[in-house]
Amino acid sequence: MIDKTTVPERIGHFFGKLFSPGFGFILLVITYVPMILVIVFSFNESIIAAFPLERFSLVWYRELLADASILGAFRNTLLIAVAAVAGSLVIGVSAAFVLHRFHFRGARIYQVVILLPFLLPGIFTGLALLLFFAFTGIPKSLFTVLIGHVVFCTAVVFKTVAARLMVMRRSLEEASYDLGATTAQTFFRVTLPNMRTALITGSLLAFVLSFDETLITFFVIGAQLTLPLKIWGMMRAQFTPVVHALAATIFLISTLLVVVFSRFILGRETAR
């Protein structure tokens, strides 16, 4: 066989061979080393985050649990995450279903607008809502934070559910309509049970994203803080290793959620 590779291809291949495993490895290392260091320092008795390490200690975690404002922020974060999941499920699923079921003018724009809060950086969604709340005279509170989270999470739920509806066999729904079922009956008895996986995936994603949301929350939060904003405040105040413990806790909670989440998805995919 005559090798028909061109010179640029060969150069590309050379770099590929040289760097391919290395580059990916470097990326993983610099992604994880800082996070692992925070976990290590959170168990270190010394007040200074430096090597050599002193003794293993849970003192920073004990202080963390003793701090009522942190626990309050944690409770706020959980409440908002649960409410945001519920709200974004209702809006995201109806939006995806209406696009799937009906054809109307402006459907494409409708779709892009729903996705906008997910595509745009948080600063725009956050500031836009801030201006809107200021204009309409709605005071900033946990409720405004919730609206911000629902706007953001709706995009994610919509995306997940719409993707599932695209691959779902239409014959199922068509059969239902042909047998005389109404749109509502078809939705609750055929469509909804068929997108159970997408609903669970969307809810888990929405929960994690709401739990960690910082950029939108930053602009629309009132006096009551969420956990990421609490960390933000602590980072700017007098330093204490309690921040390490809090950062490590948040990281571990997210990791746990992701592990549950991806086990769920991968399990489904192999089962299918």
* Residue reference for tokens 């005279």: 137
240 contributes a contact to another protein by CB under 8 A: no
Phi and psi for 44 in degrees, rounded to 5? -95, 130
Taking CB under 8 A as the rule, which mask of x and - marks residues 206-225 in contact with another protein? --xx-xx-xx--xx------
Q: Of 231, 94, 88, 200, give the one whose Cα is nearest residue 148.
A: 88
41 contributes a contact to another protein by CB under 8 A: yes
24 contributes a contact to another protein by CB under 8 A: yes
Q: Write out the H or E segment, with its range, that includes residue 98.
A: helix 68-101
Residue 226 CB, nearest approach to another protein (Å)? 10
146 contributes a contact to another protein by CB under 8 A: no
Amino acid, res. 29: V
128 contributes a contact to another protein by CB under 8 A: yes
48 contributes a contact to another protein by CB under 8 A: yes
Cis amide bond preceding 193, omega within 30: no
Residue 181 token pair: 């079922």
Residue 202 CB, nearest approach to another protein (Å)? 14
257 contributes a contact to another protein by CB under 8 A: yes
Interaction residues for another protein, span 92-111 (CB under 8 A)? 94-95, 97-98, 101-104, 110
Identified binder of another protein from the candidate list 78, 82, 83, 116, rule CB under 8 A = 116
Query: Which residues, including other chains, have CB under 8 Å from residue 228's CB and lie 6 or more apart?
Result: 77, 212, 213, 214, 217, 250
Number of residues that bind another protein (CB under 8 A): 105
